[in-house]
Structure 1
Amino acid sequence: MDTLKRNAWGPAFAALLAATTAGPSLDRDALRRSVAGLPDADVTGALVRVAGSAGHWWGVSGVADAGTGAPVRSDSSFRIGGITRLFTHAVMLQLAGEQRVDLGTPVVRHLPGLLPESHRQVTVGQLLDGTSGLPALPSLTYGDGSNEWFTEHRFDSWSPERIVREALKEQREFTPEAAEPRNGIEDLLAGLVIEEITGRSFAREVRERIARPLGLRCTHVPDADDVTLPEPCSHTYVATGGGLTDVTARSPHAWAAGGMVSTAADLDRFLTALLEGRLLGPAQQELLATHGGLERTVLPDGRELLGATGSGPGFVCGVLAAPDLSRRVAYSLACIRAQGSGEIPCVQGIVEAAFRTG
């Protein structure tokens, strides 16, 4: 899959969303093959939900608990990593629609003292469209990048303010208005701006503005000291010292950048509402392509999908949809090795099977 995190779709975007038609049937055999044979050397368990005009398909494979052999459940909760940014950006765009924030306003006006003078011109809008030039997450949060480091430090917690300050200490040459990959710092700052504007917690804003109105009963922003994952869930593991270490419990310090918890059904409902325009006013819906945190995935046959992906030590997940919402997929995998290795073929197989026709 070729994932591009900068998007520009133009006026045809709204028309595509309104043009949902009954599509070809699901290739259920291909879907079953995409999650067959688990657990293996890379993935312990998988959960897949496909929905759309051709019907629904649920697939589970592997084990939810390597110790007991308990199977994966279709209603399992999981950490959604970078998919969190879709919620963060949606809340900020709602506030813009209410004229409570101007996207052209410098961030320092809302968060004085957090950004240095060299970053005084970074705007709220640049946090959303990925052109702030701010640095990536600091080594404070990932150490040497090894599974061993993460296992030892998985309960460590840092405030978003500290993470931002540490990142700025490691700042490479600043390139304002340069489009760069999403780095987490922008979304942490967006969460802080949301709290400053509303006077309420980011978790409450997500709950009151998105989760409760859409009936997302299994979606929430964990408290800073909540290391648990609600049951039912699939355990996540990383390979350390020749064995597997259970890292299901961990700090949710990624917060507005990647700390949320949800389910496949909730993510599908949320992405559908977002793309249908049920969360944003018309002017903000026009900004969704550039400021909504959406990713564009291109299938081998050239078709484009919209949505977001997330990952962390021991897991990868995603929620993707055809622009007209006629076919959608949400998935979560518990993967053993370092991210970006053995789970990639499995993810590719799931996504390609989900959008294949039978």
Structure 2
Amino acid sequence: MTKRLSRSPRWIVLTAASAALVTVTAALPASAAARERPAPAAALGATQQIDPAALQASLGTPADGLFAGAMARVGGRDGRWTGTMGAVSTDPAASFRIGSITKLFTSTVVLQLVAEGRLSLDTPVQELLPGTFPAHWQPITVAQLISHTSGLPRAVCWDPNAVYTPADLVKTVTECPQAGEPVTGPDIPQVYNGVNYFVLGMVIEKVTHHSYAHEVSRRIVRPLGLGHTYVPGWGETALRAPALAPQLPPTDPWPWAEGGMVSDAPDLERFLRELLRGRLLPSAQQKLLFELPRHAERGFTRGGVQYAKLPDGTEVYGKSGSYGGSTNGVFATRDLRRSVVYSLVPLTTDEREITRRYLSIAAAAF
């Protein structure tokens, strides 16, 4: 990797915000944490029809003063609905930076490499990327990176005037005295950390000898026909298609394999549907999408999918993400009865209000 990417302190906030979106909904009983989640019962909302009025109301109004705009797209066996509110495009193909939803693409590519025998989940990162971590650290495996159980320290040492390659970023984190060393032991707690996915992006490039963007395109984007989904080039601040929220300023996609991709609602809906139905992964890796590690505090599965249990008991799988001024998500029931893609443009920094709006949309969608 020879290109360099500009660093923004806002990434630290956005990474935390993405995790905060599921804190309310993803808490699981300890006894359930090590089990594969069963498919939702057929009776759970099986005959519930899409309610356009409830969905539109869930987006709020500009008069709320909390969001400049919002979009939601609901699909599944009962049909499809798309609605918007406020200062966002009504074009269903309008693009937006998907933030940490990017992680689902990254983990899918890694699991495909595992299926091909190019690496294993138990392979220590130190073997794949020698010198990336301090020599005295305990082994950190690919599986631990995917499921946020690596124990890697969070981003602490930052120079607001510096630029970083992915390798530079990881080095800055791992050599930061204030950050400390990884939490080790047989039961490493699950702690959401974007650094895990910078490392996974580096793993993809090392194993394949191709760029991260090339592998995502070859393995996911082109096979699924995702015409508005891509990994932007370094320094590519403008979107290639009309923006969902044109009022948002251009943003450098430097979060890369952690959160730098661009997509639109139809593409995200299709990607998650094909991922959950098994088109992208063989059965051995597919089951990891629904299997939680021990101590799954944030509800991320062993396959890197975000699991959430909504207040009414509905279980959904997908990913949330924030970057460039929007807060987004794509979720579906395991049986694909219902799915939702949403994008919000917050005027507030209150995570409680953002979470409340997401839950409102989820309640109307599922």
TM-score, normalising length from structure 2? 0.82
Please identify, of 32-41 and 104-113, the stretch whose mean Cα deviation from structure 2 is larger.
32-41
Q: Does 1:126 align with 2:121?
A: no
2-side partners of 1:103 and 1:17: how far apart? 31
Task: Measure how far apart 1:345 and its partner are.
Answer: 2.5
Q: Tell me what 1:338 maps to.
A: 349
Q: Tell me what 1:195 maps to.
A: 205
Q: Tell me what 2:118 maps to.
A: 100
CA contact (8 A) 2:93 2:228 kept: no
Q: Tell me what 1:240 maps to.
A: none
Residue of 79, 83, 98 corresponding to 1:59: 83
For 2:277, give the aligned amino acid: E
CA contact (8 A) 1:39 1:61 kept: no
Q: Tell me what 1:140 maps to.
A: 158
For 1:35, give the aligned amino acid: L
Q: Equivalences for 1:1-358 in 2 at 5 Å?
A: 2-4=24-26, 8-10=34-36, 12-13=38-39, 23-38=47-62, 40-64=64-88, 71-140=89-158, 157-168=163-174, 169=176, 170-177=178-185, 178-235=188-245, 247-289=248-290, 290-312=301-323, 314-338=325-349, 340-355=351-366
2-side partners of 1:19 and 1:96: how far apart? 36
2-side partners of 1:304 and 1:165: how far apart? 38
Please identify, of 3-12 and 202-211, the stretch whose mean Cα deviation from structure 2 is larger.
3-12
Please identify, of 188-197 and 25-34, the stretch whose mean Cα deviation from structure 2 is larger.
25-34
CA contact (8 A) 2:228 2:241 kept: no
CA contact (8 A) 1:218 1:263 kept: yes
CA contact (8 A) 1:36 1:61 kept: yes
- Deviation per residue, 1:258-296 (Å, 9 max, x gap): 111111111110111111011001111122233321111
Task: Measure how far apart 1:72 and its partner are.
Answer: 4.1
Task: Measure how far apart 1:130 and its partner are.
Answer: 1.6
- Deviation per residue, 1:172-219 (Å, 9 max, x gap): 353125123221111110110010000000101000000100011111
Relative distance call for 1:104 and 1:263 in structure 2 (3 A) is same
Count of residues in correspondence between the two structures = 326
Q: Report the 3-state secondary structure (helix = DSSP H, G, I; strand = E; otherwise coil) of the residue aligned with 2:288.
A: helix
CA contact (8 A) 1:23 1:53 kept: no
Please, which runs of 5 or more residues in structure 2 have no aligned partner?
1-21, 291-300
Cα RMSD, aligned residues only: 2.5
2-side partners of 1:11 and 1:342: how far apart? 29
Relative distance call for 1:114 and 1:247 in structure 2 (3 A) is farther
Task: Measure how far apart 1:346 and its partner are.
Answer: 1.9
Identity %: 40
1-side partners of 2:163 and 2:27: how far apart? 28
Please, which runs of 5 or more residues in structure 1 have no aligned partner?
65-70, 144-152, 237-245
For 2:190, give the aligned amino acid: E
Task: Measure how far apart 1:321 and its partner are.
Answer: 0.7
For 1:162, give the aligned amino acid: D
